[in-house]
Structure 1
Amino acid sequence: MNFLKPLRSGALAVSAAALLAGPIRAETIDVTVVAGHPPVFLWVKTLTDAFIPAVDAALEGTAYDIAWLEAYGGTLAKVGGELEAIEDGLAQVGIVSSLFEPSLLSLQNVTYVTPFGSDDVDIVFDTVDGMHDEIPDMRKLWADHDMEYLGGGFGLEDYLLMTKFPVKTLADLAGHKINAPGPAVNWLKDTGAVGVSGNLTTYYNDIQTGVAEGVIVFPTAAAAAKLQEVAPYVTRTGFGAQYAGAIVAKKSWFDEQPAEVQDALQVGVDAFAKAYREGLEQRVAGAFKAMEAGGATITVLPEEERLKWANAIPNVAMEWARDLDAKGLAGTEVVKTYMQKLKDAGVTVPRDWSAE
C-alpha cells in the first residue's frame, strides 16, 4: 500500500487552506500620540514624518501593528498639558515639554539655568538625554507621573537677542526693557536691563507698543513671528541651545506591551531625534536668511562682552540647585554633571556655574 499518497494529499490540503486563509493577521494596538503644539512646529511635524513611520517599519514582520490617532494642536491637550493627558490615560505616547513643567520636571530644565553654554544642539540634547541614565532622580521625576522616558531629547537652537537699538556692549542694555521667556528672565539680572516676562504670542505687540524694547528668543521663532519688523537689531549672544523635552509613554501601558512593540517605539524615537536635528539645522539657516531679507542687521556680541554678561548675572544655577537639593532632589549633581559634560565635549564656557 502506498502510504505517501494520502500524506501528500493531506499536506496539499493544509497548504491550500493556508493560502485561502491568507497571512496571519497581526494584533492591532491602538495608540494615541499627543502634542499640545500644532504640526507647524518641527517637533510635532517630526512625529508624523519620522517617528510614526519608523515604528511602523520596525513592526513589519512581527505579530503586531499600531493604529495611530494623532492628537495635536490642542485637540486633546493644550501646550503644557501633555503630561497630564498621558498620566490620565487619554494618550499612550506623546511629546512632553519639560520647559512648561518647571515644577514637576525641574531637573530637566538645567540648560535654562546655565546660560552661555553650547550652541551645538547635538551636544546639548545628547548630554541631557544621557544624564537620564546616570542620575536616577531625572527618570524618577517622569516615573512619579507614570511616564516612561523614551528619549529623543529635543529643544531649541542657540538663543539670541533682538532689539530696537544696536547692542555692541553689555552697557548698551542699561535701562532697556527686554522680553524673555520664563526662566530666561534670569539671564538679564544685574545686567542693567529690565527683564519683562513674555512669550511668542506677546513679543511682537509688546515691542511695537513699547512694553519692551527687545526680546531674548530663538531664530526660528523670531523669523516666523517677523520680529525683525519691530526689533531689527539681531545680536548673536551665544546664550546656548536649550533642551526642552522628549518623547515619553505612559509607563503602566508601556510595561504591558510586548518586547517587539517596546523595541519599535525606541527605533521610532531614534529616528525622531535624527530627523529633528537635521530639520532644525535647515530651519535655522532659513530663519537667518528670512531675518536678513526682512531688514535685520545681524551682529555677533564680542567674546569679551559675552564674558562680562555671563559674570554679571547672579549664580542662578546654584541658587536653583540648592533649592532642589532642599527638596530632596539632585539639583547640585545635575548642574555639576551638565557643566562637566560640556567641558568634556570641548565646549569653552565663559562661566562654570558649578564651580562657585
Structure 2
Amino acid sequence: MKLKTLGAALLLGTMPVAGVAETYNVTVAAGHPPVFRWVRMISEQFIPTVQAQLEGSGHTINFSEQYGGAIAGVGEELEAVEAGLAEIGTCQALFDPAKLAVQNVTYYTPFVSDDVRQVATTINQMHETNPDMTRAYAENGVVYIGAPIGIDDYLLMTNFPVDSLDDLDGRKIAAPGAAINWLSGTGAVGVSGNLTTYYNEIKTGVYDGVIVFASAALPGKLYEVAPYITKFGLGAQYAGSLCANEAWYDGLPDEVKAALDAGADAAMTWYHDDLENFVGIALTKMAEAGATVTEATPEMRAQWAEGMDNAAKTWAEQLDAQGRPASSILSAYMDAMRAAGATPLRDWDKE
C-alpha cells in the first residue's frame, strides 16, 4: 500500500483537549481524483458546511485536501485514516471488501431498486441504528461519519445490440467487484474491470461490454466504444462513506463532532441532488452522440433475475461463519427497502 505522509505518531501527539477552543489541521483523503462527484462533495459541500457550523464556537478547522492517490490509492483510504495519515477519508466499501464486508450488501442484491437516494438513505440509517453495521469500522480504528456514496442504476453497455439474453451468450462483459456475480446465468463471461480501463479494453476487444452507471459512462465516453445501452434496472448501489480516525474523533469536543455530522448530512443531500439531476442528462447526451438507448422488457429483466445464482446467500453464509452477521444485515436491508416501497425481482434474503 502506498501511503505518502506522516505517521500515526504525529496524530497522537496532537490530540485535542476537550472544552478548549482549538484550531484543528485536518487532512481529508480520497483515492479518486476530484473529478468524481463523491470527491467533489467534500470540497463543495462537506468542508464549507463544517466551517459554517463552527462559526462562533471558538473552534476552527484548516482542511488539507489530498485526493487522487496523494496519500492513499482507491481502496486504501480506510487504512490511511486508521493509521492517522489522514483524519478523514472516503472509506470505499466496494474497493475494500475485506474490511468493510457487510457494507457491500447492495452489490449482492441486484434488481432491488433504481432509486439511488433511497438506497443511500437506507444504508445511512442502518449505520446509525444497527451496531452490526458500525462494528466493522470500530474493528479498524475508524468512525462512520456519513455522506453515503450512492451509485445510480447500473446499465448494460455493449458494442453489439441486445434484443434478448441469448445475445449475451459467450460475450465478455466487464463488471466491478461483486457485480460480476450478476452475470451468472446469462451465458456471458464475466471479467473484472473498473472505470479507468473500460474504454480502452472495449476498444481493443478485451471485452464486448460493461456493467456501468450512466453518470460515469458519459464522462468516460463509453458510448463511443459501447454504443448499445440497455436499461435492465440492475439497481442503484452503495459504494462507501466518509469515515474518521477513531482516536482523533473521540478527542474532539461535541461542537466539532456536531459540525462534522452536519457537514456529512449536507454532503449527502448535495451529492444525490446533483447525481439525480445528472443521470437523465447523461442518458440524453449519450443518445444525442449516437448511442442507442433501449429499455429491457419486463420479461428480459425477469429472465435475467431468475437465472442468477443467489450470490447474496452464499456471501452472507460465508461471512456468518467468520463471525460477521451478514445474514442479519441482508435481511435488515431487504426489509427496509421493501418497507420503503421497493419491489425486488427476487427476495434474496428469503430464498
TM-score normalised over the length of structure 2:
0.92
Displaced runs of 4 or more, over 6 A: none
Q: 2: distance between equivalents of 1:242 and 1:209?
A: 29
Matched, 1:77 2:85: no
Q: Which residue, out of 85, 89, 94, partners 2:84?
A: 89
Q: What is the match of residue 239 of structure 2?
A: 244
AA at the equivalent of 2:290: G
Q: 1: distance between equivalents of 2:151 and 2:70?
A: 24
Q: 2: distance between equivalents of 1:231 and 1:56?
A: 43
Q: What is the match of residue 60 of structure 2?
A: 65
- Please give the secondary structure, in 2, of the residue aligned with 1:132: helix
> Any stretches of 5+ residues in structure 2 without a counterpart?
1-19
- In the alignment, is the contact (CA less than 8 A) between 2:132 and 2:329 conserved in 1? no
Q: 2: distance between equivalents of 1:230 and 1:69?
A: 38
Q: 2: distance between equivalents of 1:31 and 1:199?
A: 30
Q: What is the match of residue 119 of structure 2?
A: 124
- In the alignment, is the contact (CA less than 8 A) between 2:95 and 2:177 conserved in 1? no
Q: 2: distance between equivalents of 1:68 and 1:177?
A: 44
Identity among equivalent positions (%) equals: 52
Q: What is the match of residue 342 of structure 2?
A: 347
Q: CA deviation at 1:27?
A: 2.6
Q: Which residue, out of 204, 212, 215, partners 2:207?
A: 212
**Larger deviation, residues 73-82 vs 129-138:** 129-138
- Please give the secondary structure, in 1, of the residue aligned with 2:218: helix
User: Any idea what the Cα deviations from partners look like across 1:227-271, whole Å, max 9, x if unmatched?
Assistant: 111111100010111101111111111110111101111010111
AA at the equivalent of 1:179: A
Matched, 1:332 2:292: no
Matched, 1:190 2:185: yes
- In the alignment, is the contact (CA less than 8 A) between 1:307 and 1:351 conserved in 2? no
Q: Counterparts of 1:312-323 in structure 2 under 5 Å?
A: 312-323=307-318
User: Any idea what the Cα deviations from partners look like across 1:259-306, whole Å, max 9, x if unmatched?
Assistant: 110111101011100100111112212211221122100001111211
- Please give the secondary structure, in 1, of the residue aligned with 2:156: strand
- In the alignment, is the contact (CA less than 8 A) between 1:160 and 1:236 conserved in 2? yes
Q: What is the match of residue 174 of structure 1?
A: 169
Q: 1: distance between equivalents of 2:242 and 2:199?
A: 31
Q: What is the match of residue 304 of structure 1?
A: 299
Instruction: Kindly report the root-mean-square deviation, in angstroms, between the aligned alpha carbons of the 2 structures.
Output: 1.3
TM-score normalised over the length of structure 1:
0.91
Q: 2: distance between equivalents of 1:63 and 1:317?
A: 48
Equivalenced residues, count: 332
**Larger deviation, residues 286-295 vs 226-235:** 286-295
Q: CA deviation at 1:133?
A: 3.1
AA at the equivalent of 1:278: D
Larger Rg: 1
